[in-house]
Amino acid sequence: MIQYLRSVAVNDFRVHLNNIIQNQANHPGIALQSFTEMRTVFNKRDADLEDVLRSAVAYGTLLYATRMRSITGIDITLDGFEEQPDGSVLLTRTEYKCGSQRNVSKEVFVRLAPGKSLDRCTLVLLAEYFAGCSSKLPNQPFALGFRSIQGAGRTNQAKLPQSRFIALLHAAAIACGLPGGLSGEKKLHLLRMICENQLLKAGVSSKDREDFIGWDTSVQNRHYYTITKQRALESNA
């Protein structure tokens, strides 16, 4: 689905969206909110639609490469990306749920290394979005330009771009042969599951997976921030 969103031409995607909208009855598993988002995207000018597609690709690849929660991905700011001497990138994010612990507000670090396949490399897909944005890249690059709503909490604020990303994934899923779109309630959670499966297949240890995902809570030390950052830089994951 991510590769489809990366490669589809703007005009072809617009035609695809219109076909889905005109045939809603053929896609009973898709919520009305997603059709509304598809109409909004359909009506965007070409440059803005290209930005939306690139943003969806970058956001999606970040979720399946880091297993972060979708709301965390929307919260990420540009200064959270720090290039390393070896060409990798250290990503710093704030997690509000780590394993079974909620509202812990903990900094989590993950090192993104260059991939073997350039067309699937997370760093390449991120760079394509950051460099190709038709207007000034916002500080929250995955908030899709939605403005802050006064009085809205971070969860409610995140629902707007989340709904748009879900609509785009529905469209991509249909293009890839799934007429009902994505199934289940946690549509974006699918990308996190892919990451977990990849870590398991690669033989990454339980401890390294916890560090990578940000669940580690065993280090109680005033130098905790420095320790976890160093672990991320040295991790085999």
**Average pLDDT across the chain, whole number:** 84
Calpha distance 1→205 (Å, rounded) = 28
Calpha distance 199→214 (Å, rounded) = 14
Q: What pLDDT is recorded for position 192?
A: 74
Q: What pLDDT is recorded for position 55?
A: 93
Q: What pLDDT is recorded for position 222?
A: 45
Give the closest residue to 80 by CA, choosing from 126, 148, 39, 121: 126
Q: What pLDDT is recorded for position 118?
A: 84
Torsion sign, CA atoms 185, 186, 188, 194:
negative
- Confidence band (pLDDT; 50, 70, 90) for 99? low
Domains by residue range for the chain, with CATH = 2-234 (1.10.443)
CA Rg value for the chain:
18
Helix axis angle, 46-66 relative to 189-201, nearest 10°? 40
| Cβ–Cβ < 8 Å for 3, 31 | no
CA separation, residue 114 to residues 32, 120, 233 (Å): 39, 10, 14
Q: What is the pLDDT of residues 128-187, one digit of tens each?
A: 999 988 778 888 899 887 776 666 677 778 888 999 999 999 999 999 988 777 765 567
Please compute the mean of the pLDDT values over residues 214-221 and round it to a whole number. Answer: 55
Q: What is the pLDDT of residues 1-39, one digit of tens each?
A: 889 999 999 999 999 999 999 999 988 888 899 999 999
Residues 41-45: contacts with CB within 8 Å, 24+ apart?
Answer: 41/17, 41/164, 41/167, 41/168, 42/14, 42/17, 42/18
Q: What pLDDT is recorded for position 220?
A: 46
Q: What pLDDT is recorded for position 53?
A: 94
Predicted model pTM: 0.83
Calpha distance 26→147 (Å, rounded) = 33
- Lowest model confidence (mean pLDDT) among 61-70, 84-93, 158-167, 190-199: 190-199
Is pLDDT of 225 > 90?
no
Q: What pLDDT is recorded for position 11?
A: 96
Calpha distance 152→96 (Å, rounded) = 17
- Confidence band (pLDDT; 50, 70, 90) for 221? very low
Higher pLDDT, 228 or 7: 7
